[in-house]
Amino acid sequence: MPFSLIFDIYLYLCSSVCTAVLGFLKCTFSLQNTRRQYCSAYPDEMDDKGPMMLTVCWVFTALALLFVSARFYVRAVVHDKLGFDDYIIIFSCFCAVLSNIFVTISVSWGNGRHFADLNLEQKENTIKWMMAAYFPGIETLGFPKLAVIALLVRLLVPSRLHTIVLWSMGTICCLSLTAMVMTLLLQCTPTQALWTLTMPHNCLAPELLEGLAYWASTCSAFLDFYLAIYPATVLWKLQMHTKKKLALCCALGMGLVSGAVGIIKATGVSTLSNQDVSYELCDPLYWTSVEGNLIIIAACIPLLQPLVEKAKGRSIWRSRGYKTDSNNDDNEHYAEGTGNPGLSKSSKQTGPDAFEMGSTFKKKKKGGSVRVHDAC
């Protein structure tokens, strides 16, 4: 079978996700323009974002659950081992579903409609359940990044310093997101005054919330881009088929899509100080769901190679364009990492991995070449 066809099959999941996201963005902007025109023509009609918000949140969460199920099958059934990053992804999915449940409850109370159109009970319950949805929703932006970092550290075997930097950036991102959402929930004294509108209260300035939100959104988007670009810089130095390089870069670089969504979401931070909270805060809420689920999907795609190979009945990388060494001595040689200071005996894996194809490739280097582990 032509290698180009195999390459297209391998990238099908990546391209389908990108197409779905781009289509969603196009439809969202189109719906927003249509809504503005409709409301300007019929100002007496009530504008409601609730149904659209529920559709977006549940569709992307269902898509993420499909990818997580496939990842869980590969790790638990095909390779018979679950790692730290797998449990992080499962926890992230739990947070995404929990956030959607709270969003659904808030919509039943009037979330998505203009605040002035709600009665007092609807206003209070809308705010309470919307704030409840933000906490697990925001956590889906940080924890999946830790799973991606664990995957990259295991596969690319960076230096000790670079490993520390990666985990430090992931920790800072998670702490920033948690600090932001905790400040959002605890901004008023007493805490119940945030949704009990008749209770006397003392709340933080909206500017402080916006500043924390901008910082957390920036950290999240930056780390998404970094974790997508870093593996590409490593893989491009390997002597392998160009199409395989592109395939691996796309599979490991899906974080670019979630990073782009994070930038779009950051443009809505200013709505935190808007008085029409049940209407204006809907956009950041469903963008948070989209971004979080895309990060989960990005963490799953690189591990789904065995499913494609099972469907094809052969290795998707086996081609006449490069050689594959299958003897044990050669595999032992590159696993030891001889001649390459970036790989050591400690990097040798104890079991099969989704990326461990038993192949070796040469890495370009002045004065000769060294073998590196084909982690993909």
Per domain, the residue ranges of the chain are 3-311, 325-373
* Whole-structure pTM value: 0.74
DSSP 363: E
The pLDDT of residue 4: 46
Residue ranges in the chain assigned as alpha helix (H): 3-10, 12-41, 50-73, 84-109, 120-156, 160-185, 206-235, 242-252, 255-266, 277-280, 282-300, 305-312, 328-336
Look up residue 257 and give its amino acid: V
Give the list of residues 6+ apart from residue 8 with CB closer than 8 angstroms, or none.
none
CATH of domain 3-311: 1.20.1070
CB distance 83 to 75 below 8 Å: yes
What Rg value do the Cα atoms of the chain yield, rounded? Answer: 23
Pairwise CA distance, residues 103 & 94, whole Å: 14
pLDDT at 21: 53
Predicted local distance difference test score (pLDDT) of residue 363: 46
**Is residue 370 within 8 Å of residue 339, measured between CB atoms?**
yes
At residue 310, the pLDDT reads 75
Query: Angle 160-185/120-156 helices, nearest 10 degrees?
Result: 180
Give pLDDT < 70 ranges for the chain: 1-46, 267-274, 311-376
CA-closest candidate to residue 4, choices 360, 350, 229, 319: 319
List of residues 6+ apart from 33 with CB closer than 8 A: none
Q: Are 244 and 275 in contact (CB under 8 A)?
A: no
Half-sphere exposure of 226 toward its Cβ, with a 13 Å CA cutoff?
16
